[in-house]
């Protein structure tokens, strides 16, 4: 779904149910994801159950981003992804250097 349509849906949800209710729903959805992950780990639910809960949490996170500032959220997410990439590059480079020293 395109971003503008999603934002419109989020704003309709806030207008209908209110921000407080949506924050409570985020907490509920996070709890359901945690429960699904625990059950998945014990092989009591399948991948589809986890994906369903991930989708619910993702939708609620985007709603919160809309509430608190979607553009700032996107910038912060990009910053953190870039930082992860830098850390991975550094770790892989160091690991490769250690492995090349051992094989010499």
Same structural domain for residues 75 and 93? yes
CA dihedral for 58, 62, 65, 70, sign (positive or negative)? positive
Query: Is 80 exceeded by the pLDDT of residue 14?
Result: yes
> Residue 100 is encoded by which pair of tokens?
């090349």
In this prediction, what percent of the chain has a pLDDT beyond 70? Answer: 98
pLDDT: which is higher, 75 or 98: 75
Please provide residue 21's backbone torsions phi and psi, each rounded to the nearest 5 degrees: -65, -35
Same structural domain for residues 59 and 85? no
Same structural domain for residues 98 and 76? yes
Query: Is 70 exceeded by the pLDDT of residue 104?
Result: no
DSSP 2: -
pTM of the predicted protein model: 0.86
Q: Which residue range is the domain that position 99 belongs to? A: 70-104
pLDDT value of residue 101: 82
Q: What is the pLDDT of residues 27-74, one digit of tens each?
A: 999 999 999 999 999 999 999 999 999 999 999 999 999 999 999 999
């Amino acid at each position: 779904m395109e971003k503008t349509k999603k934002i419109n849906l989020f704003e309709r949800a806030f207008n209908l149910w209110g921000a407080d209710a949506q924050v409570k729903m985020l907490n509920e959805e996070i709890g359901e994801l945690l429960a699904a992950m625990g059950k998945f780990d014990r092989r009591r639910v399948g991948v589809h159950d986890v994906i369903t809960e991930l989708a619910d949490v993702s939708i609620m996170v985007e709603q919160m981003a809309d509430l608190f500032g979607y553009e700032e959220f996107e910038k912060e997410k990009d910053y953190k992804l870039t930082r992860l990439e830098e850390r991975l590059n550094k770790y892989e480079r160091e690991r490769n250097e250690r492995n090349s020293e051992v094989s010499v």
